[in-house]
């Protein structure tokens, strides 16, 4: 595991672009073992390779240290726009510096500008990394549950 950076770094956020992809993949590789949210142990969808327009990265200088990957969806039949978070990850060496919260704020601001009315994300009910973090950021259980059928 990477060592924690001692000094509080100057962190900037911006919309993710193509040059951030390798940094995002590096974070994904680094988060292993108990540091990895169980929701992302075996993701249902590949989250890299889609549209990156709604994704936000945090950077320390040139290094990508955090990412929220998301997408916008138009909701039928009401025609409202919502946002989905596909993945959230902070480089293990940079966790605990407020980067997760900063990224969430930047993502929210960006989604609002794009006309989104709400943000959704999926978590396993017993994920003790992701669930409490999102709850601390104002997320509550949706009135919908997800249904699925295996057709393989």
Ligand X SMILES: CC(C)(COP(=O)(O)OP(=O)(O)OC[C@H]1O[C@@H](n2cnc3c(N)ncnc32)[C@H](O)[C@@H]1OP(=O)(O)O)[C@@H](O)C(=O)NCCC(=O)NCCS
70 binds ligand X (CB under 6 A): no
Q: Examine residue 133 and tell whether it contacts ligand X (CB under 6 A).
A: yes
Q: Quick check: 119 binds ligand X (CB under 6 A)?
A: no
**Among 140, 57, 47, residue whose Cα is nearest residue 106:** 57
Q: Residues binding ligand X: what is the number (CB under 6 A)?
A: 22
Q: With CA atoms as reference, report the closest residue to 23 among 89, 108, 95.
A: 89
Q: What are phi and psi of 30, to 5 degrees?
A: -75, -30
**For residues 51 and 101, which CB has a smaller minimum distance to ligand X in the complex?**
101
* Shortest Å, Cβ 111 to ligand X: 17
Over the Cα atoms of the chain, what is R_g? Answer: 16
Integer Cα distance of 148 and 56 in angstroms: 29
Number of other CB atoms surrounding residue 39 within 10 Å: 20
* Of residues 73 and 129, the one with the C-beta less far from ligand X: 129
The residue (of 81 and 127) whose beta carbon lies closer to ligand X is 127
Alpha carbon of residue 122 to chain centroid: 11
Residues of span 11-40 touching ligand X by CB under 6 A = 27-28, 31, 35-37, 40
The least distance separating ligand X from the CB of residue 31, rounded to whole angstroms, comes to 4
List of residues contacting ligand X (CB under 6 A): 27-28, 31, 35-37, 40, 87-90, 95-101, 129, 132-133, 136
């Amino acid at each position: 595991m990477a060592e924690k950076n001692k000094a509080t770094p100057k962190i900037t956020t911006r919309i993710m672009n193509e040059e951030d992809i390798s940094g995002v993949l590096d974070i994904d590789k680094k988060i292993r073992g108990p540091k990895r949210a169980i929701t992302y142990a075996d993701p249902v969808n590949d989250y890299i390779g889609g549209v990156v327009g709604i994704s936000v990265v945090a950077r320390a200088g040139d290094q990508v240290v955090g990412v929220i990957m998301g997408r916008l969806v138009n909701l039928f039949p009401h025609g409202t726009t919502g946002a989905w978070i596909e993945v959230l990850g902070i480089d293990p060496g940079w966790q605990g510096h407020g980067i997760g919260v900063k990224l969430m704020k930047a993502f929210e601001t960006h989604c609002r500008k794009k006309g989104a009315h709400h943000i959704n994300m999926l978590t396993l009910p017993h994920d003790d990394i992701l669930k409490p973090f999102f709850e601390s950021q104002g997320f509550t259980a949706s009135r919908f549950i997800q249904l699925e059928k295996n057709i393989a």
